[in-house]
Amino acid sequence: MLNTHAEKTPRREEWAGMAGRRGQEVLLSCYCREIASPEGSVRLRPRSALSYGPRGDGGGYLLEIDLPHSRARIVVAVEAPSSTGNYVYCSPAWYQHHGRGWVVADWQGLSRLLLRELEARFGTEPQWELAHQVADSVAVMTAILSGRAAGRDTAGPYVESEQGLVFGHSFHPAPKSRLGFSAEDVRRFSPETRTRFPLHYFAVRPESVVQASVADLPTTELMRRDLGTAADVFGEDFVPVPVHPWQAGHLVSHPAVARALQEDRMRYLGPLGHEFFPTSSLRTMYSPELPFFYKCSLHVRITNCLRKNAVYELEGSLFATRTVRALEKELGGRFPWLKMLEEPAFATVGLDGDGEEVRRDLEERFAVILRESLPRDVDDRVRVARVAAALFGTDAFSRRRLMAVVAESAPGMGFERAVENWFHRYVERLLPPVLYGFFHHGIVHEAHLQNTVLVTDHGSPSGLLLRDLEGFKVVPERFSALPLDTLTPAARRAISYGDEQGWKRIAYCLFVNNLSETVSALAGGTERLERRLWDRVRDVLVDFERRFGTEDSARRLGPLLAGAPFPGKANLTVRFLKKADREAGYVLVPNPLGRVPEVSSWN
């Protein structure tokens, strides 16, 4: 027993060390992109040119970061240059304060150092909320790493990808923060621990249910059908409303819900029906046997926001679904590999008697949206679906997954050629339909890595599923698929973007969140390969302009092809200043497309 305990202890320390290192890396990435690079206070130098800094940790370059308000300097080893600032870190950070000796920084020390610099820069009081989120993110990552070892096997590559985002967003200061979850909640409900569980159900009187559907049945009937024989418990006097298990505990303690339970306007039945896999968003649930994902409200602050389904988002999901249907024939004819997953139904609980504000609040806490499941022709043998975010990380988990897929696509082919060929097929499937939707129909779809599901055929990119219509927006002056005046004023405001706002969101999601991460993961620190991959992006954009170009697309894509910077979302700054996520600004991210393309044998 003593020996067993001695063997386990270093493993726990190793997990905590990995989580802390990742916490440090994302803080550095955010700070460099949003503050140091725009101010010119970061430099990349060959390691051999400097006589100080970390030694023996690998990496041929040192990143130097000045903190002028703190009179401090940070250095960290990185694997190679990156044209977009997507560095692979090879050492802990070291810092020098007021010209004193160099000291190695753990994640807590680096967090304090950077937050103090931001406080001085912006003239704010100490930002304890963000410090708490950073600490929570590291604690969650530690729990995830330990929990994965005890989790059950997943149900094939798709679920494995949904539950494989161990470290999360590379440019968010607290990518795994889940404020509201206890340590036990993290273990039970985090997808990364390879968990699964049934939803919990309330039986609700029909007159207290708010629902809408553009599917073949009303929402509550769709949910009865999914429950099978378990639905018999509801009888004729009640209808089912499912919620996330954590949310169920949150709801039963609400005074208005407790009163409705006491008055028999609803009943809490606990877990029923199929087991679901929580997906990468935590609150969207997947069961391979069912025709719908269930996107539940979850009153937990996950990274930036409380993850509840706002009332205007319920209305917007049906409007977006009708838009997808209206354009399906045209888009399917031009881009047959593309599918946007519909969200054709929602249901929630509307309790009268406690005022409009309480009613609206409860509607958002109970709300569930049904999202179309994976196409039936996607299986786990030949045609395989995977969440793109699980492929294109810089961590060892993602890289092993990605390299296995690329190798499957080109047996016997040289590595760089296989990577280039694979990436070109990916970009061909991603860019044209999203850009076409924006320039020809005024549609903004947030095709970032977590919303992009890649379908491969024998490893090679063959299809693309775009999901999560919460981020679906329209530019009214170019949108004519459906009349916007059918929406309520709140829903119309939420779904409408100005042209500049829409373009920045499209460009950020495609070129910064998606393709910059993808290139970094595939190139693996090889500068020559990184350059050739960006040349493939250029090829696809030039071809798009030739086939589908408009005056608007020339105005937007022309400057990008000439090297105008990409817009990058400022996740650190918006969190530090305690602003809503929708108020996040953009910073300028270097764009490698303006370079003269490398001469190659590419056909």
Residue 594: its H or E element = none
Task: Tell me, yes or no, whether 543 and 578 share the same domain.
Answer: yes
Taking the C-alpha atoms of residue 70 and residue 115, their distance in angstroms, rounded to an integer, is: 10
**What CATH number does residue 558 fall under?**
1.10.510.40
Beta strands in 173-304 (DSSP E): 178-179, 197-204, 209-213, 239-243, 266-278, 284-286, 292-296, 298-302
**In a domain? residue 426:** yes
Beta strands in 57-101 (DSSP E): 61-67, 72-78, 94-97
Task: Tell me, yes or no, whether 32 and 96 share the same domain.
Answer: yes
**What pLDDT does residue 304 have?**
78
Task: Tell me, yes or no, whether 356 and 405 share the same domain.
Answer: no
Task: Tell me, yes or no, whether 467 and 347 share the same domain.
Answer: no
Amino acid at 95: Y
Q: What b-and-e string marks burial along 556-590, b requiring 16 or more CB atoms within 10 Å of the CB? A: bbeebbeebbbbbbbbbbbbbbeeeeeebebbebb
**In a domain? residue 202:** yes
**In a domain? residue 163:** no
DSSP assignment string, 218-250: -HHHHHHHHHGGGGGGGTTT-EEEEE-HHHHHH
Taking the C-alpha atoms of residue 493 and residue 483, their distance in angstroms, rounded to an integer, is: 14
Task: Tell me, yes or no, whether 215 and 304 share the same domain.
Answer: yes
**In a domain? residue 390:** yes
Task: Tell me, yes or no, whether 117 and 215 share the same domain.
Answer: no
Last residue of a domain, one of 95, 125, 155: 125
**What pLDDT does residue 394 have?**
75
Contact between residue 30 and residue 572 where contact means Cβ atoms under 8 Å apart: yes
Last residue of a domain, one of 125, 152, 178: 125
Q: Which of 552, 431, 566, 557 is nearest to 499 (CA)?
A: 552
**In a domain? residue 225:** yes
**What pLDDT does residue 55 have?**
62
3-state class (DSSP) for residue 485: helix
Number of domains present in the structure of the chain: 3
Contact between residue 186 and residue 414 where contact means Cβ atoms under 8 Å apart: no
Residue with tokens 């694997």: 79
Contact between residue 391 and residue 280 where contact means Cβ atoms under 8 Å apart: no
Amino acid at 366: F
Taking the C-alpha atoms of residue 289 and residue 287, their distance in angstroms, rounded to an integer, is: 5
**In a domain? residue 601:** no
Its domain, for residue 358, covers: 196-330+340-372
Task: Tell me, yes or no, whether 506 and 584 share the same domain.
Answer: yes
Q: Which of 19, 16, 309, 64 is nearest to 174 (CA)?
A: 19
Q: Mean pLDDT, consecutive 10-residue segments, the chain of 603 residues?
A: 39 86 96 96 85 66 94 93 93 88 93 96 92 95 84 78 92 95 93 95 97 97 96 95 97 94 96 97 96 97 87 96 97 96 97 87 96 90 92 85 93 92 98 98 96 96 95 95 95 96 97 97 92 97 98 97 97 92 91 74 40
3-state class (DSSP) for residue 300: strand
Taking the C-alpha atoms of residue 304 and residue 174, their distance in angstroms, rounded to an integer, is: 9
**What pLDDT does residue 19 have?**
94
Tokens of 380: 């786990």
Task: Tell me, yes or no, whether 470 and 582 share the same domain.
Answer: yes
Task: Tell me, yes or no, whether 461 and 556 share the same domain.
Answer: yes
Taking the C-alpha atoms of residue 480 and residue 466, their distance in angstroms, rounded to an integer, is: 21
**In a domain? residue 242:** yes
Taking the C-alpha atoms of residue 54 and residue 82, their distance in angstroms, rounded to an integer, is: 20
Q: How many CB atoms lie within 10 A of CB 454?
A: 23
- Euclidean distance between the first and the last CA atom of the chain, given in angstroms as a whole number: 63
Task: Tell me, yes or no, whether 470 and 587 share the same domain.
Answer: yes
DSSP 449: T
Strand order in the sheet with 266-278: 209-213, 345-349, 368-372, 292-296, 284-286, 266-278, 197-204, 239-243
**What CATH number does residue 69 fall under?**
2.30.30.1240
3-state class (DSSP) for residue 302: strand
Taking the C-alpha atoms of residue 421 and residue 460, their distance in angstroms, rounded to an integer, is: 9
**In a domain? residue 504:** yes
3-state class (DSSP) for residue 191: helix
Taking the C-alpha atoms of residue 423 and residue 460, their distance in angstroms, rounded to an integer, is: 9
**What pLDDT does residue 7 have?**
42
Task: Tell me, yes or no, whether 414 and 366 share the same domain.
Answer: no
The Cβ-side half-sphere exposure at 473, using a 13 Å CA radius, reads 21
Taking the C-alpha atoms of residue 265 and residue 267, their distance in angstroms, rounded to an integer, is: 7
3-state class (DSSP) for residue 556: helix
Contact between residue 555 and residue 561 where contact means Cβ atoms under 8 Å apart: no
Task: Tell me, yes or no, whether 472 and 404 share the same domain.
Answer: yes
Residue with tokens 């539950």: 163
Last residue of a domain, one of 68, 94, 125: 125
Tokens of 124: 């704010």
User: For residue 165, what are the contacts with CB-CB under 8 A and spacing of at least 6?
Assistant: 191, 192, 280, 387, 389, 390, 393, 450
